[in-house]
């Protein structure tokens, strides 16, 4: 007799000491998202394989793709040696589905499962990743793309891209034997600087990704930075990319010769591949030392070329058009403090004022508004529907990618100058001495995390939360 949920329940009710039952005996058809150790070929062949943790046995994890307004359902199965949970980054989700382990849900223990079921309201390029010890779990490979297609088909309309490709970028710290450099997980020196940077950048899990394209086509590239610390400046020489979306949101179209992606940020660009393309087109990344390296390439996939695309690129339909009521917003400030060369003398932790030594002993080297990652009280509360204007002030020597859960915000100004684009995002890069002002409508009830997406910074103090409603 096949096990169904009913027989499972009946068995459990009738026998106190029920024999161990097979774990995957659900009667429903919810697709499974299984996290487990796996092995990947990241280093060049001949250098050995890399033990990783992954979703579905692959890096990146399997692409989750729905249309705007549709439900995403996944039964998360944790076959990792650690508790975990899945966060659906950037989705304006119901609070209980947000996947913040120990905050919006209990961590799913090894051998445990959790049912995720939510509506993806806004089209765009998103991603999912582990949200428990994320500084370790994401570095080990627990991340995948989450694509929400436009409610109406966009591909195929005049001026729109004829095809699209998802490019998920990651940054690995490999040893010479190709294994992950595990000794540096949790390294406080890394955390107090830029974070744990890697030495190997991959696109879709490969160090020499060759993305097949068709000559003459207009291609939409969905770029996702899943690195835990590395800010990635990117260039596509010879392709004149047109930026159409950031963090999933349509933007006013503009040329994007250089695309800077902080950890967790996404950009959608449209490129026209020349019908005369006769060599691979490199994808370049700045290592941070003004040294551009090739991290992959677009290559001729061998199909018959299309005639050249010459009309202007079509903008994505604007989606979130609710006006921000900026006349009397609730004003908040988020001040980033600490880190190497930051001179953090004291901060609150466990409700107590601590000096620097005590903070370091507790592995907290960063703070928001004088609080080093204490979760007892929110940074602020906002009534449902209230507009919040927030000044992000970086008093540290390092860049930070600030992420709000459950909401999208507008970037109002940067370095004191109004931002001409007023892009909508869920993660914003804040450079030292360059305050950024954002505004958002607190329209999603619940308790939401707010943190730096340099995940080592998050773990060592740059984490707080806010409450809506």
Task: Tell me which of 400, 405, 424, 425 binds Cu ion, using CB under 5 A.
Answer: 400
Provide the pairing of β-strand 232-235 with 281-286.
antiparallel
Residue that has been written with the tokens 């691979």 in this structure = 280
Task: Tell me which of 61, 457, 461, 466 binds Cu ion, using CB under 5 A.
Answer: 457
SS (H, E, C) 241-262: CEEEEECCEEEEEEECCCEEEC
Q: Which stretch binds ligand C2O (CB under 6 A): 50-58, 163-171, 368-376, 448-456?
A: 448-456
In the complex, least distance from residue 89 CB atom to ligand C2O, rounded to whole angstroms: 4
Q: Residues 6 or more apart from 361 whose CB is under 8 A from it?
A: none
Measured from the CB atom, the residue of 269 and 454 that comes closer to Cu ion is 454
Binding mask 130-169 toward ligand C2O (x if CB under 6 A, else -) reads: -x--------------------------------------
Contacted entry of ligand C2O, Cu ion, none for residue 222, CB cut-off 5 to 8 Å set by kind: none
Contacted entry of Cu ion, ligand C2O, none for residue 405, CB cut-off 5 to 8 Å set by kind: ligand C2O
The reply to whether 220 sits near ligand C2O by the rule CB under 6 A is no
SS (H, E, C) 14-71: HCCCCCCCCCCCCCCCCCEEEEEEEEECCCCCCCCCEEEEEECCECCCCCEEEECCCE
- Residue 352 to residue 208: CA distance in whole angstroms: 50
Contacted entry of Cu ion, ligand C2O, none for residue 407, CB cut-off 5 to 8 Å set by kind: none
Task: Tell me which of 196, 348, 403, 407 binds ligand C2O, using CB under 6 A.
Answer: 403
- Residue 130 to residue 128: CA distance in whole angstroms: 7
Q: Which of 245, 244, 313, 234 is nearest to 281 (CA)?
A: 234
Contacted entry of ligand C2O, Cu ion, none for residue 196, CB cut-off 5 to 8 Å set by kind: none
Question: How many helices and strands (H and E) does the chain possess?
Answer: 5, 33
Q: Which residue is nearest to ligand C2O (CB)?
A: 89
Binding mask 435-454 toward Cu ion (x if CB under 5 A, else -) reads: -----------------x-x
Cβ atoms within 10 Å of 252's Cβ, excluding its own: 12
Q: If binding means CB under 6 A, how many residues of this protein chain bind ligand C2O?
A: 10
Binding mask 240-279 toward ligand C2O (x if CB under 6 A, else -) reads: ------------------------x---------------
Contact present, 136 and 84 (Cβ < 8 Å): no
Token pair for 131: 């949200």
Chain positions contacting ligand C2O, by CB under 6 A? 87, 89, 129, 131, 264, 403, 405, 449, 451, 453
Chain positions contacting Cu ion, by CB under 5 A? 400, 452, 454, 457
């Amino acid at each position: 007799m096949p096990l169904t949920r009913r027989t499972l329940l009946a068995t459990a009710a009738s026998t106190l000491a029920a024999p161990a039952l097979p774990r995957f005996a659900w009667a429903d058809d919810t697709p499974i998202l299984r996290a487990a150790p796996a092995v990947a070929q990241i280093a060049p062949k001949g250098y050995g394989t890399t033990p990783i943790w992954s979703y579905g046995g692959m890096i990146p994890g399997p692409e989750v793709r729905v249309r705007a307004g549709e439900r995403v359902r996944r039964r998360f199965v944790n076959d990792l040696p650690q508790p975990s949970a899945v966060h659906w980054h950037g989705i304006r989700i119901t609070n209980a589905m947000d996947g913040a382990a120990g905050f919006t849900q209990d961590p799913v223990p090894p051998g445990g499962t959790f049912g995720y079921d939510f509506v993806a309201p806004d089209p765009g390029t998103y991603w999912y990743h582990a949200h428990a010890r994320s500084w370790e779990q994401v570095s080990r490979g627990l991340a995948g793309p989450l694509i929400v297609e436009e409610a109406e088909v966009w591909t195929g309309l005049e001026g729109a891209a004829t095809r699209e490709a998802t490019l998920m970028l990651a940054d690995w710290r490999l040893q010479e034997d190709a294994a992950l450099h595990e000794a540096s997980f949790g390294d406080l020196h890394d955390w107090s600087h830029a974070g744990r940077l890697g030495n190997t950048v991959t696109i879709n899990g490969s160090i020499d990704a060759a993305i097949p394209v068709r000559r003459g086509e207009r291609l939409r590239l969905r770029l996702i930075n899943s690195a835990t610390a590395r800010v990635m400046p990117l260039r596509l020489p010879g392709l004149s990319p047109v930026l159409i979306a950031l963090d999933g949101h349509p933007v006013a179209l503009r040329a994007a010769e250089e695309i800077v992606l902080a950890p967790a940020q996404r950009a959608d660009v449209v490129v026209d591949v020349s019908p005369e393309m006769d060599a691979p087109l490199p994808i370049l990344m700045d290592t941070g030392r003004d040294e551009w390296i090739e991290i992959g390439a677009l290559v001729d996939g061998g199909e018959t070329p299309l005639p050249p695309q010459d009309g202007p690129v079509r903008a994505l339909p604007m989606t979130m058009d609710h006006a921000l009521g900026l006349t009397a917003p609730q004003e908040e400030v988020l001040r980033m403090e600490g880190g190497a060369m930051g001179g953090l003398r004291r901060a609150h932790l466990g409700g107590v004022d601590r000096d620097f030594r005590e903070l370091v002993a507790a592995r907290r080297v960063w703070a928001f508004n004088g609080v080093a990652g204490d979760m007892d009280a929110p940074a602020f509360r906002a009534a449902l529907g209230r507009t919040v204007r927030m000044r992000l002030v970086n008093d540290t020597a390092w860049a930070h990618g600030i992420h709000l859960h459950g909401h999208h915000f507008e970037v109002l100004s940067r370095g004191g100058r109004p931002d001409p684009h007023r892009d909508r995002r869920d993660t914003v890069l804040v450079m030292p001495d360059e305050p950024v002002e954002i505004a958002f409508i607190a329209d999603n009830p619940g308790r939401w995390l707010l943190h730096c997406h340099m995940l080592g910074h998050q773990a060592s103090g740059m984490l707080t939360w806010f409450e809506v409603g």
